[in-house]
Amino acid sequence: MFHAGFVGLIGLPNAGKSTLINALIGEKVSIVTSKPQTTRQRVMGILNDEDLQTVFVDAPGYVKARVGLNRFLHDEYLSVIEDSDVLFLLLHLDARSSEDFHELVRVAQSSKKPVLGIITKTDRREQHRICVINDLLEKAGIPAVQVAADKNPKELKEKIFPWLRQHLPRSEQPLFDPELYTTQNLKSMASEFIREQCFEFLHQEVPFGLAVHIIRFDEDQPGLTKIHGEIWVNRESHQGIVIGRGGQVLKRIGSSARKSIEEVLGHKVFLDLHVKVKKNWVRDESVMKELGYVVP
């Protein structure tokens, strides 16, 4: 019997959700950075096996604030829970405190969906926390596995697939074309890869108030994709920071992003980036809509 369904990955920001999806799929589906609140919109990674199609849905981490962009992140997080058949609840060993884990467990339980607890980053020093997290999950009646996302994908799959086979709904056929590994189009992937490099090269509040808008994605010429993108910053003072002295920072962002886009496309990319001030866009519903930061 064939099974297929959606697995929502939930956790705090920085729990390792996107890293785990990429490791399972074996492709870069979702961007990863060392900073929290990297993932904004849900991203799907599809894994096909003979008897199973698993659609992993990466979600923003749980945030407490409910204003502007944070409100979108929270709504998107809840909406992924709602739209999933089963949930992976990721609890990471290096979390600043485990206080918010209780809230995550509460929301997961109230969804009434099957939940698998995944303790992540078990290669980290904070091993003593495993007992506390295990205890919390056990009291909530949530089964748990422990992972380190740098382990080989085969090992990761062996830990979670027996549970998935038991809990994903039966299905006559796959939900998506088994040739696909993500539902994202190349244009949104490019935009995310640029944003990833912004997180890499920028610090403090700058990357959090920044968005990438692709103006042109031109594939007319075989073997060359021309991309024109705008980096929207939240404050005037951020424009100069993103550009850097003599344009050096923007150049580095562009060059690294171009390489990762070329890797996915398998051919040359021309990437032209400009920085634009969209004052206080993180609180502006209409700009967020333009960026796709709305839950339907």
Ligand X SMILES: Nc1nc2c(ncn2[C@@H]2O[C@H](COP(=O)(O)OP(=O)(O)OP(=O)(O)O)[C@@H](O)[C@H]2O)c(=O)[nH]1
Residue 34 interacts with ligand X (CB under 6 A)? yes
> How many binding residues for ligand X (CB under 6 A)?
24
We find the least distance from the C-beta atom of residue 193 to Mg ion, in angstroms, to be 14
Handedness of CA 94, 197, 239, 252 (dihedral sign): positive
Residues 30-49 as x/- pattern, contact with Mg ion by CB under 5 A: --------xx----------
Residue 254 dihedral angles phi and psi, to the nearest 5°: -65, -45
Residue 184 interacts with Mg ion (CB under 5 A)? no
We find the least distance from the C-beta atom of residue 161 to ligand X, in angstroms, to be 18
Among 16, 68, 114, 207, interactor with ligand X by CB under 6 A: 16
Nearer to ligand X, 36 or 244 (CB): 36
Query: Long-range contacts: 19-22, Cβ < 8 Å, 24+?
Result: 19/149, 20/88, 20/90, 20/118, 20/120, 20/147, 20/149, 20/156, 21/45, 21/56, 21/58, 22/149
CB 273 within 8 A of CB 248: no
Instruction: State the angle between helix axes of 68-83 and 99-110 in degrees (0 to 180), rounded to the nearest 10.
Output: 50
We find the least distance from the C-beta atom of residue 143 to ligand X, in angstroms, to be 19
Among 5, 8, 45, 60, interactor with ligand X by CB under 6 A: 60
We find the least distance from the C-beta atom of residue 75 to Mg ion, in angstroms, to be 16
Pairing of strands 52-58, 3-11: parallel
Give the residues lining the site for ligand X (CB under 6 A).
11, 13-19, 32-34, 36-39, 60-61, 120-121, 123-124, 148-150
